[in-house]
Amino acid sequence: MRFNQSKAPSAQLTRSVNTCRAWSALFVAIVFSSAGVAHGQELARDQGVMDRARPEYDAMGIRLGSFLAYPAADLRFGYDDNVLAEDSNEIDDQLFTLSPSLVLESNWSRHFLSIAADSTFVLYTDETREDHTDWGVAGKGRLDILKSMDITTLISFQNRTESRDSIDAVRVVLEPTEYDQFDASLAWNNRFNRILASIGAGYTKLDYDDSPRVGGGIVDQDFRDREILKGIGELGYEFAAGHHAFVRGVVNERYYRKSPPSVAFDRDSHGFEVVAGWASAISNLIAGEAYVGYLDQSYDSSSLSDVDGVSFGLDLEWYATQFTTVWAAASRDVVDSTTTGTGGILRSAVAIGLDHELMRNVLLHGEVSYYNGDFKGNKREDNWIGTTLGVKYLLNRRIHLDLSYSLKNRWSNAANLDYLRNQVSLGVRFQL
């Protein structure tokens, strides 16, 4: 489990994982590097097992002029022993998931453009009220101005369904909550000899749908709708090839759709984060990034407690052997909350995992993760631990099989919020 650590584009590592969702990410990275070798021959020691190119099993794509199209479809059958993530009276069920996707990527010598679309259809055998459909479209690009200067951009729209075990999910709804999310960002990245610089801005809009209430009626969730503006600046210095120190500053403004008297509190806020860190390939066996700093989120309402504290992040890989990668990740951030008496949650997360290439086409994966959610201004505190085990069998370039198991366990000092959840699924992926 890898955590998105809100890095500036120049320092962004390509690994990120959403800890609360089990569905596919919108973008599927399809990267072709140098030709692979047979199992047992010399492999690059500075490349993770899951990142390694396998030309005999990777999708080839369909050439469309100067673009390559990568269509795919994932079909899964699964079992969930606690569909509603409840403390008691757990309900189990089987589910089917179909996730078609399409990624279109440019093959230009300069500049880059990628367009992606995905959808996910989830059907339960008995708990049909949990059925839902997600979809999304996105585009990202890079404009190469000079060899050492570029401008990157991303724009996306997603219609998603909130997981029942999301950290701030409304629990009195009869059906899972659907929401729309729009994201746009722009960044300028430049290198002056040994100096690295990035400046960027981002915008996010969240719009939650109303949901039927348990026992009758409708839960109006407009009070959760909000817009987020963010600015990021980063300055780094490369002491040697593959080793650089950096400082990064992030500012944000958060505006909620509703304000008093239609709601009890004005949840608008503004905040910042300042960190200093080091990114390095320590050797051909260890590489990663670590940083530490301070964050603060201040709320317009005096009734809501501000959130502040030490900020930190870690993303580290150890190439233990040619066929084994051990990784660790950690992060701390502020999560918006509409829980009574709380404006924000100080969330701290850590994870450690292992990826192993048992055979050229058989990949094993295991990870353990933990997070703590401190609801500021409210006595509630959540702790969550998760375990994931998986095996992937690459049959050929067009068909991949996988089996996965996950355990999720939350314990909270708030009443009726503990849960234990086991999920297992078998999947097949078709790709061109």
Amino acid (1-letter code) at residue 191: R
Q: How many CB atoms lie within 10 A of CB 192?
A: 9
Tens digit of each residue's pLDDT (9 = 90 or more) over 81-120: 999 999 999 999 999 999 999 999 999 999 999 999 999 9
Instruction: For residues 42 and 48, give the distance between their C-alpha atoms in angstroms, rounded to a whole number.
Output: 14
Alpha-helix runs per DSSP H in 198-331: none
Question: What is the pTM assigned to this prediction?
Answer: 0.85
**Three-class SS state of 11:** helix
Q: How far is CA 12 from CA 9, 140, 273, 289, 399, in A?
A: 5, 14, 16, 10, 31
pLDDT for 46 equals 61
DSSP 173: B
Residues whose CB is less than 8 angstroms from the CB of residue 8 and which lie 6 or more positions away in sequence, other chains included: 187, 198, 200, 232, 233, 234, 248
Asked if residue 33 has pLDDT above 70, the reply is no
Domains in the chain (CATH in brackets) are: 9-431 (2.40.160)
**Cis peptide before 176, with omega less than 30 degrees from 0?**
no
Instruction: For residues 275 and 295, give the distance between their C-alpha atoms in angstroms, rounded to a whole number.
Output: 8
- Residue whose C-alpha is closest to residue 323's, from 284, 363, 366, 283: 363
Asked if residue 27 has pLDDT above 60, the reply is no
Q: How far is CA 225 from CA 31, 181, 257, in A?
A: 36, 10, 5
Helix, strand, coil fractions of the chain, as percent rounded to 5:
5, 60, 35
Asked if residue 4 has pLDDT above 70, the reply is no
Residue 34's φ and ψ, nearest 5 degrees, are -65, 160
Cβ 313 vs Cβ 234: under 8 Å: no
Instruction: For residues 43 and 2, give the distance between their C-alpha atoms in angstroms, rounded to a whole number.
Output: 24
Which tokens is 391 given?
């095996």
Tens digit of each residue's pLDDT (9 = 90 or more) over 249-290: 999 999 999 999 888 889 999 999 999 999 988 777 899 999
